Amino acid sequence: MQEELIKSDDRVKKHGEVFTPKRIVDLMLDQPEITAKINDLHATFLEPSAGEGAFLTELLLRKMQVALKLSNNAKEYGVNCLIALSSLYGIELLEDNVEALVMNMNDTFRDEYRNQVSQHFNSEPDQRILKSAKVIIRANMAQGDALKRVTSDGEPIIFSEWQDLGSSKVQRTEYTFDDIIEGRGSTGSVKGATEQLDLFALNDVSDNNESVSYQKCSWANIYLEKITS
C-alpha cells in the first residue's frame, strides 16, 4: 500500500510535516543501542514531533513483543503491556495529527493485546487493561509546542510518570515538561525521535507545580484515576 507522507505543500512549509516511511522507522529502531532500550520495558522514549505516531506505534509493538517474552500468563502480560505503553511519550503541535496519534496508539495496543492474549494464552482480554491503556495514552500523548513547552492554550505541558512499584502496583505522578527539561530533569535534552530520554530521573520537582496527586493502585486499575483526598 502507498504510504501518504505529505498532507499538503502548505503544511510542509508551515510545520515541516513530512511523515517517516515505515522502512526508515524500522531501520532506525533496528540500531543496536535503540534495540537495547526497547528490550528494557521501563526505558522511556519521547517523540517531541510525533506526527501520527510512525515511531511511537512501532516502538509500542516492539515493546509489547518484549512484554510477551517476559510474561508467564495473561495477567502478567496485561501488566507488562501497560508498563511498556507507559514508557512512551509524544508531543505534537497539530490537532488532527494528535487525534490520529491517539487513535493509532489505541488501535495498536488493543489489536496486539487482544491477539496475543487469545493466541498465546488462550484467554479473553481484560477490559480493565484496555481502559487503563486509554488513560495512559491520553496522559502521555500531548498536544502542544515542544519548543515552547506549552499546550495550544498556553498552559504548561504536563506529563505523568508511571512508577512501577512491583507486585503489579503503580504510582502516577505529574510533572510539567518544562521542569523535566530545565536541568530539573537528569538528561536535559530532547534530540530525536528515538533517543532514549530518562524522563523522570528527577530531583523532586513536585513541590513547584499544582499537579493532581494520584493514589497508588494496581496497573489494571489505572482507569479509575483515583486521586488522594
Ligand X SMILES: C[S@@+](CC[C@H](N)C(=O)[O-])C[C@H]1O[C@@H](n2cnc3c(N)ncnc32)[C@H](O)[C@@H]1O
Check if the beta carbon of residue 143 is closer than 8 Å to that of residue 151: yes
163 three-class SS: strand
* β partners of residue 166: 169
In the complex with ligand X, the residue whose CB is nearer, 8 or 167, is 8
Q: Residue numbers of the site for ligand X (CB under 6 A)?
A: 15-20, 47-51, 54-55, 91-94, 97, 145-147, 193
Residues 6+ apart with CB under 8 A from 91: 46, 47, 48, 49, 50, 142, 143, 144, 145, 146, 157, 177
In the complex with ligand X, the residue whose CB is nearer, 76 or 145, is 145
In the complex with ligand X, the residue whose CB is nearer, 81 or 93, is 93
Least spacing, CB of residue 86 vs ligand X, in Å? 20
Check if the beta carbon of residue 88 is closer than 8 Å to that of residue 62: no
In the complex with ligand X, the residue whose CB is nearer, 51 or 185, is 51
Least spacing, CB of residue 11 vs ligand X, in Å? 7
Least spacing, CB of residue 177 vs ligand X, in Å? 11
In the complex with ligand X, the residue whose CB is nearer, 12 or 212, is 12
Q: Which residue is nearest to ligand X (CB)?
A: 51
Q: Could you report how far apart the first and last alpha carbons of the chain are, in Å?
A: 52
Least spacing, CB of residue 24 vs ligand X, in Å? 8
Check if the beta carbon of residue 89 is closer than 8 Å to that of residue 159: yes
Least spacing, CB of residue 120 vs ligand X, in Å? 30
CA distance 163 to 170: 5
